Structure 1
Amino acid sequence: MNPVVYTVDLEVRWRDLDAFNHANNASYLGYIEEARVRWFKSLSADWAGETAAPIMAAVQVNYRRPVNWPETVRVELFAERVGNKSLTLGHRILSACDGDVLYCDGHTVLVWVDRGGQSVPLPDAVKAACAG
């Protein structure tokens, strides 16, 4: 696995739960999105600027076990592939209290596009952060 580029701990909210009192599958995507946005914001104020922003082209989530409440999850992001115009970010959601408890893993493919929908080069701050 590539080195982690960003880690954040997030509280599981009551509203994240499904009928079985587990975090709903869609909540996992929300945790991953929150980590991604916080990471981008930490790199540059204009990561989603006037001229270009990232869009999600694909996502894969392998659900390993249910997240119960109450829980604090730790989301780890790592660069799997850095292209000219796209970035594949690996992700893992673990228990913040017990790093041996893996809730999910997978990856997200992001492409930076301009306001016209054309792909553009990755921001320099993102490339630099992924280089390590």
Structure 2
Amino acid sequence: MVTQTDFRVRYSETDGQRRAHHSHYPVWFEMGRADFCRQAGFDYKHLENTGFFLVVARLECQYKSPLEYDDLVRVETRLISLSRKLMTFSYRVINITQNEKLAGEGETLLVCVDREGRPASLPPDVSERLQSCMTPSKGKIHASLSGG
């Protein structure tokens, strides 16, 4: 499954040159990841209410071309690997305003933890929903963890 999250670059997300500041890409990744989970049939609030949390353990982002104030942007999100406690999402940030030019891409590795912050297995219902939505791929973060 690939989800698409569309939005416009807000003025507050830009720097002195009216270009999107690099610090907003992780926030946009999180927006895409939250949409992905909702479309998979659960949300963070549900997961947290059951005592589990998804913590970003690693983030990678590559910037390809600038985004500017008011550009229409799409974040495409995929779940590319999943284990009992770990999951890797990949993202493509696309500038729709500029003929769907690639603006950036990245990955996040998330760890499921319990209320005490200890690594924990995902609840079975969440794991099953995510497994059915996965697009297997050896992303950079996954490959580095598995030695590949």
Number of equivalent positions: 128
**Offset, 1:106:** 1.5
2:142 aligned residue? none
2:3 aligned residue? 6
TM-score, normalised via structure 2 length: 0.78
Indicate the SS of the match to 1:110: strand
TM-score, normalised via structure 1 length: 0.86
- In structure 1, list runs of 5 or more residues that go unmatched: none
Task: Kindly provide the CA deviation profile for residues 93-129 of structure 1, in whole angstroms up to 9, marking residues without a partner as x.
Answer: 0013422x00101200011111011222232222232
- In structure 2, list runs of 5 or more residues that go unmatched: 137-148
Is 1:73 aligned to residue 73 of structure 2? yes
Q: Is the 8 A contact 1:40 1:47 kept in 2?
A: no
1:130 aligned residue? 134
> By percentage of residues, which structure has more strand?
1
1:21 aligned residue? 18
Identical pairs, percent: 23
**Offset, 1:131:** 6.1
> By percentage of residues, which structure has more helix?
2
CA-based RMSD: 1.8
**Offset, 1:49:** 2.7
| Shift in alpha-carbon separation, 1:47–1:38, aligned structure 2, 3 A | farther
Structure 2 CA distance for aligned equivalents of residues 115 and 128 of structure 1:
26
What are the residue-to-residue correspondences of 1:105-116 with 2, within 5 Å? Answer: 105-116=105-116
